[in-house]
Structure 1
Amino acid sequence: MASTLRAALIAGELVPGRVYSAPTLAKQLGVSATPVREAMLDLVRDGMVDVAPNTGFRITALTAAELDNIAEIRLLLEVPIMGQIAAARSSERDEQLELLRPLVDSMIEAAERQDLTQYLATDTLFHTRFLALHGNDVAVTTVQRLRDRSRLDGLTSVAQAGNLVESTREHYAMIDAALSHDRPAMEQLMRKHLGHVRTDWAAPSATSDA
């Protein structure tokens, strides 16, 4: 439940500044209010939402500068780590890489039907499993938290324009770069991929401070 709500928040389906009650969210998701309330409290602890007394939960907003800082840290962490994964050689690692392909298949299916909550939940799973191949759990946890703090409100427009599938195929290229041990290609690909976060995947208002 928490992963579903995180993905909905990142995708902009939960609007910053708006207050949501647990029963309302539960009705939308077709579940009971208790797991929704527990999941929202997890998001409160992570700073993604605030408690609105006697009302529900208010979605926190991030400034363009905050999103820029998140994107910068992700570049500093993920580009070299993914490069090191590509440079490594291990038959066991290669088997684990191949297991990531079905996740990309699922992401493309979600993109085609414009199910952004499912898309982002699967995207997070893909990237955290990929990064985990490096063997640094702290790095994986850090990137997970940075992803949770991001806002990709522009994904809706990208999906509606039919362009999300194309960028999603970059995930296949990541797997191929790692299997071919092409570190430069992987690092270049990751810079391009993470660049989407502050360009076409971000809402126009989030690309610069007001």
Structure 2
Amino acid sequence: MSLPSVPELPGIGRRENLRDRIRDAVRAAIISGELRPGVVYSAPALGAQFGVSPTPVREAMLDLVKEGLVVPHPNKGFRVTEVSDEDLDHLAAVRLLIEPPAVRETVAVIPDDDFPALRRLAQDIVDAAERGDLVGYVEADHVFHLTLLGYTGNPFLVEVVSGLRSRTRLLGLTPLLHSGRLVRSAAEHHELLDFVEARDPVGAELMTHRHIGHVRGLWAGGGRGPR
């Protein structure tokens, strides 16, 4: 039986750490649904898509095995793990406990001089949406939120949230993209920064809560609206 074809994924170019870049790109492709749950993908096929040899792809995939995102199949490749609706509900519930109050905490400590860089990170999400690049969208979203949470000064919190976000699935991004709503959703990140820059901790916390509701609802493809 032939293995499934690999979807169009963005090239990763020349990077300082090739393994990390491949790992991040594949993780984003899994979260966005570009790499489908339950499907086995081979390292040579993914390597050809990225324009690299299979070796760094295998190394990156082994990192994702540790994260629980893929399962190795000897002599075949790596199967993307499936996540149940119940698991997604549990993930969202934990994120709602952690992220909104953490963002509220950052409002008072982010230096004014850092906002231009944060705005650029937010715009990276919008730009990816406008390009129709779902993998780039997920990657940029990941970087933005973890950078924002980094201002708590708590690396353990950032690590936990990173793991929770990696296990999330956003299979509803494709319909949002086709309907033209993904760009509007991406703009929420600028709205969140508006509250943070205005030093409005309550608004920032509520906006983060709304954002996570979208992740579990419309963006997950579950047919639910925001909570």
How many residues end up aligned between the 2 structures?
203
Query: Aligned match of 2:36 in 3, 15, 18?
Result: 15
- What TM-score, normalized to structure 2? 0.86
- What TM-score, normalized to structure 1? 0.93
Q: Is the 8 A contact 2:23 2:63 kept in 1?
A: yes
Distance 1:192 1:74 in 2: 12
1:146 paired residue number = 164
Match of 2:72, SS?
Answer: strand
Q: Is the 8 A contact 2:109 2:151 kept in 1?
A: no
Deviations 1:89-112 (A, max 9, x none): 46xx22223311112222111101
Query: Aligned match of 2:126 in 98, 108, 113?
Result: 108
Deviations 1:43-75 (A, max 9, x none): 001111101111110110010000111111111
2:95 paired residue number = 74
Q: 1:201 is matched by which residue type in structure 2?
A: W
- Structure 1 residues 22-101: aligned runs within 5 Å: 22-86=43-107, 88-89=108-109, 93-101=111-119
Distance 2:124 2:104 in 1: 25
Higher helix share: 1
Q: Which runs of 5+ in 2 are unaligned?
A: 1-21
Q: Which runs of 5+ in 1 are unaligned?
A: none
Q: Is the 8 A contact 2:103 2:204 kept in 1?
A: yes
Distance 2:203 2:44 in 1: 47
1:176 paired residue number = 194
Q: Which runs of 4+ in 1 moved over 2 A?
A: none
Query: Aligned match of 1:155 in 148, 153, 173?
Result: 173
Distance 2:35 2:185 in 1: 23
Q: Is the 8 A contact 1:98 1:175 kept in 2?
A: no
Distance 1:204 1:75 in 2: 18
1:126 paired residue number = 144
Q: Is the 8 A contact 2:70 2:80 kept in 1?
A: yes
Match of 1:50, SS?
Answer: strand
Greater RCO, CA 8 A, separation 6+: 1
Q: 2:52 is matched by which residue type in structure 1?
A: V
Shift of 1:113: 1.6
Q: Is the 8 A contact 2:129 2:183 kept in 1?
A: yes
Shift of 1:27: 1.2
Q: 1:123 is matched by which residue type in structure 2?
A: D
